[in-house]
Amino acid sequence: MKSILPLAAVFLAVVHQGGCAVLRPRAENFKLFAYSGEDMVGLNVFASDGLVYAGDSSSLDKSSISNLTISTDDARDSTWHVTVDSSNGSSTGYWTIQASDSGLETVSVSTSQDSGTTTGFGLYGAWAYHISSSGDIEMNYRATPTETDGLYLIKWDPTSTTDDSATAVQLRTQSPVPVTKDKN
Ligand SMILES: *[C@@H]1O[C@H](CO)[C@@H](O)[C@H](O)[C@H]1NC(C)=O
Ligand SMILES: *[C@@H]1O[C@H](CO)[C@@H](O)[C@H](O)[C@H]1NC(C)=O
């Protein structure tokens, strides 16, 4: 299996040469899946109590879990509008990165655009990025372990430095290829 990182480098090189037109594609109603090497192959990305997780949601209170569907309604405005579906019904929010004391930043779905960074998000092909204030394309999502095996809290590394407890993940719109199970 090929490593994801060289591929990301290729994409970044292409993005830089492509100019602005490719940086802000309009995209409607996509879902995200988390990938990291062979350990995380298309984990489902969802929210619980507003925070964004990936992986096995079975240990969480079902009523707290929301499915997320994202769209960008304006090609120039790189805000991600999130439709949040839970047992309480459907609502809308914004994909948000919020500074936090721990170094890694919180990734959440917030109801207000004032609670953190809600602009600068985009997709390059199937890959989620954030464009920094200096114009750099960043793919700094991290998966931090929780008490449940296979369940990760998604965070953002503002400095691109490696945090020991966090795994670099790619958030992609591509769902995992289903594994064919041998029924015998
Ligand atoms: C649904 O409502 C219950 C009760 O108010 C609340 O505890 C729960 O967090 C809500 N779920 C979501 C996904 O907002
Ligand atoms: C969330 O998605 C799962 C898997 O697609 C589905 O089974 C479940 O019914 C969805 N829940 C809500 C509240 O839409």
Q: Which CATH number fits the domain that encloses residue 150?
A: 2.80.10
Give the pLDDT confidence of 9-21 residue by residue, as tens digits.
Answer: 444 444 444 444 4
Domain that holds residue 129: 26-172
The answer to the question of residue 7 being in a domain is no
SS3 8: helix
Domain total in the chain: 1
Tell me what pLDDT residue 1 has: 40
Give the pLDDT confidence of 37-90 residue by residue, as tens digits.
Answer: 998 999 999 999 999 999 999 999 999 999 999 998 655 558 999 999 999 999
| Centroid of ligand 1 to alpha carbon of 88 (angstroms) | 6
3 vs 85: CA distance, rounded Å = 33
Structure tokens at 99: 């500074």
Side chain identity at 111, as an amino acid letter? T
Which of 82, 86, 111 most suits a substitution to test ligand 1, by most atoms within 8 Å of the C-beta?
86
The answer to the question of residue 14 being in a domain is no
The answer to the question of residue 135 being in a domain is yes
Is 87 touching ligand 2 by the criterion CB < 6 Å? yes
The answer to the question of residue 15 being in a domain is no
Tell me what pLDDT residue 182 has: 62
Among 128, 97, 123, 137, smallest CA distance to 34 is for 128
pTM of structure: 0.82
The answer to the question of residue 178 being in a domain is no
Tell me what pLDDT residue 28 has: 83
Helix then strand count (H, E) for the chain reads 1, 15
The answer to the question of residue 183 being in a domain is no
User: Is pLDDT at 2 greater than 60 in this prediction?
Assistant: no
| Centroid of ligand 2 to alpha carbon of 71 (angstroms) | 18
Burial 63-80 (b: 16+ CB within 10 A, else e): eebbebbbebeeeeebbb
Structure tokens at 67: 């499915």
The answer to the question of residue 6 being in a domain is no
The answer to the question of residue 103 being in a domain is yes
Residue pair 119/110 in contact by the 8 Å Cβ criterion: no
Backbone angles phi, psi at 7, to 5 degrees: -65, -40
